[in-house]
Chains A and B, each alone.
Chain A
């Protein structure tokens, strides 16, 4: 390819940001000053193109340092990686956290999603905007779920610079959020991850047993609390033995699709193509979900160990953890854990002297719900727009970089540890026949003690809500997040299992239990859900790109209307929703109508 670059040049700072990631440019082919030697050799080509997966980290480097991505900066990054500027521009404009227009160095992201809206995010935003006003040097951006639902309403301040500074304010007040944005270094620290686990320290916990008990920064402490016994057992069993245990345990994916994990691993492990990859999906962006954040912040070494075991089982030597960009603390903790593990020989060339080598790379998302879709996540890592791919081919055949890949989410992987330490039969004894093991639920909204709860599969919705101290006058519970569905207060005996929810015509999804009392205006909530899907649609296929817009328009029209006044638009919504479910490429479009439909059918939202 013959790339064309315009005349725009990077500033010194932009150049430094890119060079800090990629090393200095070596020739004029890569954007350095021209030397005599450059006339006699060429750089770039395939070797540089093979590093295209550094495009997203490169965009982050610029955005972190300067706060936005200028033409000169983007062109320089493109020269370095041999990426066509048009494509890089397409990637940069795909993500909500990047800007290709100048903007203030400090951006305050205020969550306006379900739990935060119910907790008054609207007034909070208005207050912040009024207080900061123009000329404050802070850009205020209303945005989707920040994954801090247990502390709603939430705000995240990001100040570009070297290094980039972040500060979280949750539960946020106008004063606290403004203080975090204007002086992120002086902002009070976040509460420990254990604060999001009301059960912390309780006996009998499996997945959460170390959160709040162990020092998340200390590998020694992790080992003192049983860390790395599962990996030793894995090495005793061998890859096939690990897969057998996982298969026998009955573990199914916790990200929402509930696919049998053992079968996925087996299919990849036995695939003749090499190399194999393991991808940990930590892009938890479902509004109402924050369990993966709590696990990564509270027990990061557990995830590192689980990834090591999974990679060993499928004979992958390179694993990726893709963490959503809105989780700065989780990114830091995971980076630290990976570095520690590498320094101590628990990652790298010869793990525990077993001759097995693995490295884990942490990748940061940049504000795109769709990247939680497994194939969109591959595209995002590879440096393309985070658009989902058509399946088939499935990731076990052609996943990351076109190679056989296992993608599991954080909670799924962390389950592998007890499976190996307890053994498959003991693990499978928890839960029900169809849904084995413990399950994490993110309970938020109208409850006294919001947070991550671990219960054995089979507990009822009412039991989980009771633990969290559900407030009186419950109006509705959203199960599974924005892509899930509402259930009524008289359905609290619903068993929280895959088969139980399926039977009841709803879904566990990603484990969201979002309670709403009767003070929350339902139509506004539904409108927010529709707005969310319209904003987060990647735009690739017509049913989702236009359908989500038409859905939001119809909900706006009927806001405040009921009965016959809303009937026409509800009929329209049903028709569009059915086509979106049937004809969209990926789960985003296919589920974008679920919650609204359930609100109409189960709650009688517009009657």
Chain B
């Protein structure tokens, strides 16, 4: 049973969400309120363990009195606010943003996005065959994980996870600007020449599969990756005494990747190189 910290009691903020009076604890975002109310608002860059960066702009909502649409993931609920999540205007922006994204990167391994593209009737093809896109070859420069820029939506989650929000390694940042902006290590070097410590926490938070385990990458390339055949078992890491929870993803009796539950108060989904990648000894069957 996972222990859930309760925290200090918070005041409630009252505001109007889609015409209904809503009360949420002070400090909650509009997205929190939507989720509590069972309203589905799509989002790609929002992460449950990181501060919202509101870069993808898929979750935009209408806030009365605001000239532009507002990102639900980072806009805090304020008393008396009037928010509408599903209007012609929000649907239009979400549709176009999904089209812009899907026309420029490969979203085939992004969970739920296919459903949203259908729901919002997005047509990523309509920008024509010459529309610029990130057709970059995946960078495979180490045995632990792979960077596939063709799938990167620049959500900044890996940067935040590597930086001051979790890992404090600061091995990656955004370099360049505009359409040419890319996640990069210093001097755009191979990962092996960088400050990377291979904790894999960036892989943990990547929402699109632009960062993936080498094991998963190879199995996908070989056509053997099959999530329907995988089981997930959460256990405690045996390496040290911290007590991190590991979730072992097992397919055909082989560990294929290791994640960590985001609601664990010990790790919040973070692991070190040993916990995340040091599992080969388990399956050395001689």
Contacts and interface: CB of A to CB of B under 8 A. Distances in A.
Interface string A418-458: 00000000000000000000000000000000000000000
A84 B177 contact: no
Contacts of B92: 575, 578-579, 582
Nearest to A581: B68
Nearest to B95: A579
A314 to B, nearest CB: 26
B96 A579 contact: yes
Nearest to B188: A89
A536 B96 CA distance: 21
A94 B194 contact: no
A550 B131 contact: yes
A542 B184 CA distance: 18
B55 interface: yes
B130 A1 contact: no
A87 B173 CA distance: 5
Interface centre among B68, B126, B188 (most CB of A within 10 A): B68
B100 interface: yes
Interface string B169-185: 11111111111110011
Given A71-B187, A85-B187, A545-B154, A4 B55 contact: no
B127 A553 contact: yes
A584 interface: yes
A585 B127 CA distance: 23
Contacts of B100: 542-543, 546-547, 550, 576, 579
Interface string A524-562: 000000000011111111110111111001100100000
Contact of A93 (B69, B132, B177): B177
Contacts of B127: 550, 553-554, 572
B36 interface: no
B69 A546 contact: no
B123 to A, nearest CB: 10
Contact of A1 (B89, B104, B169): B169
B179 A545 contact: yes
Contact of A542 (B76, B153, B168): B153
Nearest to A540: B55
Given A6-B193, A94-B176, A579-B93, A74 B60 contact: no
B126 A538 contact: no
Contact of B71 (A1, A370, A390): A390
Contacts of B193: 6
Given A100-B187, A390-B74, A581-B68, A90 B174 contact: yes
A93 B176 contact: yes
B93 A86 contact: no
B272 interface: no
Contacts of A94: 175-177
A12 interface: no
Interface in B127-142: 127-128, 130-132
B177 A368 contact: yes
A236 interface: no
Contacts of B185: 86, 89
A385 interface: yes
A42 interface: no
A583 interface: yes
A583 B68 contact: yes
A84 B195 contact: yes
Interface in A85-126: 85-90, 93-94, 100
A497 interface: no
B103 interface: yes
Nearest to A550: B127
A38 B188 CA distance: 31
B56 interface: yes
Interface in B67-118: 68-69, 71, 74, 76, 89, 92-93, 95-97, 100-101, 103-104
Given A1-B170, A545-B154, A546-B104, A539 B176 contact: yes
Interface centre among A90, A534, A546 (most CB of B within 10 A): A546
A537 B68 contact: no
A2 interface: yes
Interface in B115-165: 126-128, 130-132, 153-154, 156, 163
Interface centre among B93, B130, B172, B178 (most CB of A within 10 A): B178
A584 B170 contact: no
A510 interface: no
B276 interface: no
A590 interface: yes
Contact of A538 (B93, B177, B194): B177
Contact of B68 (A3, A6, A582): A582
A548 B178 contact: yes
A545 B56 CA distance: 10
B179 A1 contact: no
Contacts of B189: 6
Contact of A86 (B68, B103, B180, B194): B194
Given A576-B96, A583-B68, A583-B69, A542 B170 contact: no
B186 interface: yes
B170 A3 contact: yes
Interface string A1-23: 11110100000000000000000
B97 A579 contact: yes
Contacts of B89: 582
Interface string B34-64: 0000000000000000000011111010000
A90 B173 CA distance: 6
A582 B170 contact: no
B240 to A, nearest CB: 18
B270 to A, nearest CB: 16
Interface string B235-255: 000000000000000000000
Given A3-B195, A583-B97, 5 more contacts: A4-B171, A88-B186, A390-B54, A550-B100, A583-B57
22 contacts: A4-B171, A90-B173, A90-B184, A368-B177, A385-B177, A537-B178, A538-B177, A539-B177, A539-B178, A539-B181, A541-B54, A547-B100, A553-B132, A554-B127, A572-B127, A576-B96, A579-B97, A582-B69, A582-B92, A583-B93, A583-B96, A585-B54
Interface of B: 54-58, 60, 68-69, 71, 74, 76, 89, 92-93, 95-97, 100-101, 103-104, 126-128, 130-132, 153-154, 156, 163, 168-181, 184-189, 193-195
Q: Which 6 A-B pairs have the closest CB atoms?
A: A84-B170, A4-B195, A539-B181, A579-B96, A90-B173, A85-B186
